[in-house]
Amino acid sequence: MSREKILAAIKANQPEKTDLPDLDILNALTATEGSLVQQYTTIASAGGSFVYEVADFEAIKSILQKEFKPGVKIISGIKELKDYTFAEDVAHELAHSFADVELAILPSYLGVAENGALWLTETQMNVRVLPFISQHLAVVINRNDLMPTMAQAYDKIGNADYGYGAFISGPSKTADIEQSLVIGAHGPRSLSVFILT
């Protein structure tokens, strides 16, 4: 069996055991000061996201109404935004049936100021493919859910159980052709982030 063969070779060849480094000093150094909202906005905008600070869900609605024509398929994972198809109601449908979704609006409970990333697990996505297959994506997050760096983000995630989770930091993009940045590779052509203040 290859398993045994590989493990035996590894056991014979691995070097003498060294300890794991302490992350505390590093993580203490990374705790940044200043406004996380501002930092998040600067970095996420540079990465191609549209960031809005909003007071309430009404404000989000009016922005979305301006950006998306009535009649397009919009799925919302947020119960306060119930003018749209509610994600839970369609979560059982085949992943492929979401191919024509124009906009998905999903909640996140963890954002990272240093890199603009938003953490969503399957629970917030409802369907794993939804934040990828939609032509556009909007994510709603509370300002208190922003963390300075990935170190604090993983502290917050802790040992949470999930089937799938992803940090999403912007619209889908590529620079494979002569290093020129093109937004909208395979996934959403835009990411709008609504920070509830």
Partner 1 sequence: MSNVTGKSHPELAADFNKDEPRVDWHDETLWWVRAKRDIAAHKLPEWELLRETASQIKHNVLSNLYTYLQQFEANAQKNGVVVHWAADAAEHNQIVHKLLSDKGINRMVKSKSMLTEECHLNEYLKEHGIDVIDSDLGERIVQLAGEPPSHIVLPCIHKKKEEIGDIFHEHLGSAKGESDPKILTETARQHLREVFLTRRAALTGVNFAVAETGEFVICTNEGNADMGAHLAEIHIASMGFEKIIPERKHLGVFLRLLTRSATGQPITTYSSHFKKPQEGREIHIVIVDNGRSIQLGREDFRNSLKCIRCGACMNTCPVYRKSGGHSYHTAIAGPIGSILAPNLDMKKYADLPFASTLCGSCSNVCPVKINIHEQLYAWRQVIVKEGYSPASKTAAMKAMAFTLSSPVLYRSAGKMGRVVFKYAPFAVNNKLNPWYKHREMPKAPEQSFGEWYSKRKEGQN
Binding residues for partner 1 restricted to 84-103, rule: CB under 8 A: 95-96, 99
What span, in angstroms and rounded, lies between the C-alpha atoms of 94 and 90? 9
Q: Which of 166, 180, 28 is nearest to 108 (CA)?
A: 166
Q: Is 165 a binder of partner 1 (CB under 8 A)?
A: yes
What span, in angstroms and rounded, lies between the C-alpha atoms of 11 and 50? 50
CB 181, min distance to partner 1, A:
8
Q: Which stretch binds partner 1 (CB under 8 A): 50-58, 61-69, 102-110, 170-178?
A: 170-178
Residue in this structure with the two tokens 């540079």, named with its chain if needed: 46
What span, in angstroms and rounded, lies between the C-alpha atoms of 154 and 114? 13
Residue selected from 83, 88, 89, 185 as contacting partner 1 according to rule CB under 8 A: 185
Residue selected from 23, 82, 83, 197 as contacting partner 1 according to rule CB under 8 A: 23
What span, in angstroms and rounded, lies between the C-alpha atoms of 137 and 103? 6
Local structure of 126: helix, strand or coil: coil
CB 39, min distance to partner 1, A:
11
Q: Which stretch binds partner 1 (CB under 8 A): 56-64, 67-75, 82-90, 176-184?
A: 176-184
Residues 125-144 that bind partner 1 (CB under 8 A): 128-129, 132-133
Binding-site size, partner 1 (CB under 8 A):
72
Angle at 102 between CA 100 and CA 104, to 5 degrees: 110
- Kindly tell me which of 81 and 171 has the beta carbon lying closer to partner 1: 171
What span, in angstroms and rounded, lies between the C-alpha atoms of 116 and 128? 21
Q: Is 11 a binder of partner 1 (CB under 8 A)?
A: yes
CB 168, min distance to partner 1, A:
6
**Residue 180 identity (one-letter amino acid):** S
Residues 27-86 that bind partner 1 (CB under 8 A): 29-30, 43, 47
